[in-house]
């Protein structure tokens, strides 16, 4: 199982990244929460609070916004398979903190979504959980 993961992961992560970019830039919801497209939400937990409390606890929105931002970034925690420098959490965190911020502000810049601190936080949480799963169950020292 582990050796199959190491052989298939490079192709999987490339296809998965293209799919994620497609979701972020072409399937993005415009005008969420009845507001304009050009928004930067820097206040922590603003969209999470909205989904859980202000919107009347809509399960679909909760799954899509909160769990989706976490679960969709789990595979990126496994990037130590391809890039040995990303076997250290500090390196993985820094690289993805920068990449996710670039993507969030690109959504803002191209007016196709919001730049939200909550998304950055949830995406990093997803990568962190993926990294913990990778380290716990799949890390092979001798490839």
Chain-centroid distance of CA 111 in Å reads 19
The predicted-structure confidence for 35-88, as pLDDT tens digits, reads as follows 555 677 778 877 777 777 766 666 776 777 788 889 999 999 998 888 888 889
Neighbouring C-beta atoms of residue 5, cutoff 10 Å:
15
Bridge partners, residue 40, by sequence: 115
CB neighbour list of residue 60: distance below 8 Å, 6 or more residues apart: none
Instruction: Say whether pTM exceeds 0.85.
Output: no
Residues in the chain: 143
Alpha carbons 79 and 87: distance in angstroms, whole number? 8
Alpha carbons 107 and 114: distance in angstroms, whole number? 6
Q: What is the rounded average pLDDT of the residues 12-20? A: 93
The predicted-structure confidence for 107-137, as pLDDT tens digits, reads as follows 888 878 778 898 999 999 999 999 999 888 8
pLDDT of residue 33: 45
State both tokens at 63: 């799954």
Consecutive H or E run containing 3? helix 2-26
């Amino acid at each position: 199982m582990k050796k199959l993961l190491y052989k298939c992961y490079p192709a999987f992560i490339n296809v998965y990244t293209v799919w994620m970019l497609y979701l972020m830039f072409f399937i993005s919801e415009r005008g969420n929460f009845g507001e304009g497209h050009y928004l930067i939400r820097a206040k922590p937990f603003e969209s999470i609070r909205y989904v859980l409390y202000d919107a009347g606890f809509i399960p679909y929105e909760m799954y899509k916004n909160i769990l989706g931002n976490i679960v969709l970034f789990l595979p990126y925690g496994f990037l130590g398979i391809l890039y040995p420098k990303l076997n250290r959490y500090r390196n993985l965190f820094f690289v993805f903190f920068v990449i996710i911020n670039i993507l969030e502000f690109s959504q803002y810049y191209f007016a196709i979504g919001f730049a939200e601190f909550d998304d950055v936080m949830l995406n990093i949480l997803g990568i962190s959980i993926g990294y913990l799963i990778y380290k716990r169950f799949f890390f092979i020292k001798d490839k």
